Amino acid sequence: MNLIDSIKENEGFKDHIYKDTLGFDTIGYGFKCDSLTCDELELNDGIIEPMNKEVADKILKKKLAKLTSEVYDAIPWLNNSPKEVQEVVIEMAYQMGVGGVLKFKNTLNFIKENDYKNASSNMMKSLWAKQTPNRAKKLANIIERA
């Protein structure tokens, strides 16, 4: 499964505003309403809701292009990791921001050392894994198999 499909599966899709697990107004594939840019809203005729999947797909691609660049700027050595490992780190950043991923210091060090078993185990010890256990298990399993 590629990165976009994984995010779509893990986030799900809503065409209307809803509260995410942390209470933020959210729409589409987990887009926080207050983080939608003017350019992104233009894709939806300048409004937040309703949002169809075609518009949400375009917004997701824009967000991922920007986020991917931010991840590689923050973690330049990640380019040396297997593609599926890179995609897991990017998906984690999609969910919690680049700053959130950078707090996974031990996990990132294990990934840098190609010690994917310990990286996976360390991921599952986090608050993130307690808050979103299904997604964390899926992503940790991908890391462990790398």
Tell me the average pLDDT across 45-58. 97
- If DSSP codes are grouped into helix, strand and coil, which group holds residue 19? strand
Q: Angle formed by the axes of helices 105-112 and 83-102, to 10°?
A: 150
Confidence of residue 21 (pLDDT cuts 50, 70, 90): confident
At the topology level, CATH places domain 3-145 in Lysozyme (1.10.530)
What ranges make up the beta strands (E) of the chain? 14-19, 25-28, 31-32
Q: Which two tokens stand for residue 32?
A: 């926080």
Q: Which residue has the higher pLDDT, 146 or 21?
A: 146
State how far the Cα of 117 lies from the Cα of 107, in Å rounded to an integer. Answer: 10
Enumerate the domain spans of the chain. Answer: 3-145
pTM over 0.75: yes
Helix 83-102 and helix 3-11, axial crossing angle in degrees, nearest 10:
50
pLDDT, tens digit, for every residue of 28-38? 999 999 999 99
Cα-based distances in Å from 45 to 17, 42, 103:
16, 5, 37
Report the DSSP pairing between strands 14-19 and 25-28: antiparallel
112-122: pLDDT as tens digits? 999 999 999 99
Question: Average pLDDT for residues 82-91, to the nearest whole number?
Answer: 98
Q: ∠ CA(86), CA(143), CA(59), 5° rounding?
A: 40
Mean local confidence (pLDDT), 63-88: 98
* pLDDT average, residue stretch 57-74: 98
- Residue 76's Cβ-side half-sphere holds a number of Cα atoms within 13 Å equal to 1
